[in-house]
């Protein structure tokens, strides 16, 4: 395997990065099943992927296939985890500990991929001071100090729509570089901050489209 | 405007459908702001979209632009809502009323887009019988009967990974045609059922990639 160390992130489509996450999950599964090697075709067939797409996506980062063998499962998994920076643990700040915030805090998928919510902030004085699974909910006034003190770079925003922009501005001012926004509102950040809006109803809308088509 | 009534869903990329959802949101916003018409370029600039992409996506469904004017905001919004079948209310079943399930039940974004969770099922006998915001949590044994009786077509799965497949099989057997799965596990459905897996950690992984790149 010959990973490229000098790939330029600017040229890599975000969908490729999303698929790398998916491939990593597939490889973890194969490793658990005891598979040592797999061809790109077998990988594609087993997980319902497109094998040409798999090869194209991986080619951004290096030459991982071995002629006549395919991919070494553990080796490729480790390389992809390194590329995605999942070979480390990320400490994540969570702002908003309502229904959605508490569900996200307990969402098993984050911890499994190395994301640990280690700081929780909430504007409700009744919540501040409570400790959940070893993490103390802090008041909003502590946000800037704590984010800086812990050098946190990633934050999850799970506050009501109307306070999402104000919360985001405070996070960015405190040094947060990546934001996952669950508030159903459009928020803005500067160019040096990466923002991902998660809109759960878009998924239902695509279902709605296809279901209606089927009955037309 | 001349919407095409005979478009074939098979040829329309899913990303186009997702973007239609996004355009609809933008148009709702413009309508609220009192805008009557907008050019594709202005639409693109205002919402950070790609104007060529907007025109291409809309072209699957008809000719919506008017020379020298652009789009009629309310008219296009109504057309897109009709295409996405958002001009009706969808009754949705929710299976699993744990942390995530209860957060999804209260998620404002679903109702705003016409998705109403009107049936909740949970395997925990302690939860069955409780009523939340007018919806009674039902035991799993009632699932098939209720889904059929109410002709439900869409279900949200928010159960632990290990029971996701069994729950899905029961939903499909009861007649559900579209499933939004939040359980962190790969589940399988037949070809006549539409499945969307929501993996919240993939979003954090893309952030992780870009953040690490920035500091390399």
CA distances (Å), A40 to each of A19, A66, A137, in order?
14, 10, 46
**Residue pair A121/A139 in contact by the 8 Å Cβ criterion:** yes
Mutate to test the interface with B, among A12, A103, A164 (most CBs of B within 10 A): A103
Rg (C-alpha) for chain B, rounded Å, is 20
d(CA B136, CA A194): 41
For residue B204, list chain A residues with Cβ-Cβ distance below 8 A.
90, 92, 110, 113, 115, 154, 180
Q: Examine the domain organization and report whether A60 and A149 are in the same domain.
A: no
Q: How far is A148 from chain B (nearest CA, A)?
A: 16
* 3 state SS of B206: helix
Tell me, letter by letter, the H, E, C secondary structure of chain A. CEECCCCCHHHCCHHHHHHHHHHHHHHHHHHHCCCCEECHHHHHHHHCCCHHHHHHHHHCCEECCECCCEEEHHHHHHHHHHHCCCCCCEEEEEECCCHHHHHHHHCHHHHHCCEEEEEEEECCCCCCCCEECCEEEEEHHHHHHHHHHCCCCEEEECCCHHHHHHHHHHHHHHCCCEEEECCCCCCCCCCCCEEEECCHHHHHHHHHHHHHHHHC
**pLDDT tens digits along B161-189:** 889 999 999 999 999 999 999 987 778 89
Count of A-B CB contacts under 8 Å: 174
Task: Write the CATH number for B40.
Answer: 1.10.10.10
The residue with tokens 């632990």 is B160
Q: How far is A110 from chain B (nearest CA, A)?
A: 5
Of A29, A161, A211, the CB nearest to B177: A211
* 3 state SS of B73: helix
Of A192, A199, A206, the CB nearest to B14: A206
Band of the pLDDT at A3, cuts 50, 70, 90? low
**Quick one: pLDDT at residue A210?**
84
d(CA A188, CA A197): 10
Nearest Cα residue to A101 out of A72, A68, A130, A73: A130
Domain boundary among A54, A83, A112: A83
Band of the pLDDT at A215, cuts 50, 70, 90? low
Q: Examine the domain organization and report whether B108 and B75 are in the same domain.
A: no
d(CA B80, CA B86): 8
Least confident of A39-48, B61-70, B100-109: A39-48
Q: Examine the domain organization and report whether A141 and A162 are in the same domain.
A: yes
**pLDDT tens digits along A141-192:** 999 999 999 999 999 999 988 899 999 999 999 999 999 999 877 788 998 9
Task: Write the CATH number for B171.
Answer: 3.40.50.720
**Residue pair A45/A70 in contact by the 8 Å Cβ criterion:** no
Residue spans of alpha helices (H) in chain B: 14-32, 40-47, 51-59, 73-83, 99-106, 108-112, 143-149, 161-174, 200-215
Q: Is A213 exposed, middle or buried (0-12, 13-18, 19+ CB in 10 A)?
A: middle
B109/A200 CB distance under 8 A: yes
> What's the domain range around B108?
90-201
Q: Is residue B213 part of a domain?
A: no
Tell me, letter by letter, the H, E, C secondary structure of B147-193. HHHCCCCEEEECCCHHHHHHHHHHHHHHCCCEEEECCCCCCCCCCCC
Nearest residue of B to residue A153 by CA position? Answer: B211
B180/A203 CB distance under 8 A: yes
Q: Which two tokens stand for residue B70?
A: 């652009």
Domain boundary among B34, B61, B83: B83
The distance from CA B165 to its chain's CA centroid, rounded to whole angstroms, is 21
**pLDDT tens digits along A113-141:** 889 999 999 999 999 999 999 999 999 99
* Domain total of chain B: 2
d(CA B163, CA B183): 9
Domain boundary among B32, B58, B83: B83
Q: Is residue A44 part of a domain?
A: yes
Q: Examine the domain organization and report whether A150 and A59 are in the same domain.
A: no
CA distances (Å), A52 to each of A26, A60, A157, in order?
16, 13, 36
* 3 state SS of B29: helix
For residue A161, list chain B residues with Cβ-Cβ distance below 8 A.
108
Q: What H or E segment, with its residue span, contains residue B3?
A: strand B2-3
Average pLDDT, integer, range A65-86: 91
Band of the pLDDT at A52, cuts 50, 70, 90? confident
A99/B109 CB distance under 8 A: no
Q: Is residue A214 part of a domain?
A: no
For residue B208, list chain A residues with Cβ-Cβ distance below 8 A.
84-86, 90, 115, 154, 178
């Amino acid at each position: 395997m010959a990973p490229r160390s000098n790939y330029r992130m600017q040229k890599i489509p975000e969908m490729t990065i999303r698929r790398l996450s998916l491939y990593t999950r597939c490889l973890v599964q194969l490793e658990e099943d005891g598979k040592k090697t797999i061809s790109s075709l077998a990988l594609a067939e087993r997980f319902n992927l497109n094998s040409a797409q798999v090869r194209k996506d991986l080619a951004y980062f290096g030459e991982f296939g071995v002629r006549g063998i395919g991919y070494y499962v553990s080796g490729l998994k480790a390389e992809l985890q390194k590329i995605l920076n999942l070979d480390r643990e990320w400490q994540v700040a969570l702002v908003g500990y309502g229904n959605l915030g508490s569900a996200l805090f307990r969402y098993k998928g984050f911890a499994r991929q190395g994301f640990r919510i280690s700081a929780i902030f909430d504007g409700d004085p009744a919540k501040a001071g409570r400790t959940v699974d070893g993490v103390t909910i802090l008041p909003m006034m502590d946000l800037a100090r704590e984010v800086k003190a812990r050098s946190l770079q990633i934050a999850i925003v799970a506050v009501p729509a109307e306070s999402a922009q104000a919360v985001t501005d405070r996070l960015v001012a405190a040094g947060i570089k990546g934001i996952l926004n669950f508030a159903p509102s459009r928020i803005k950040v500067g160019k040096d901050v990466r923002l991902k809006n998660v809109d759960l109803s878009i998924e239902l809308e695509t279902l709605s489209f296809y279901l209606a088509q089927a009955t037309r």
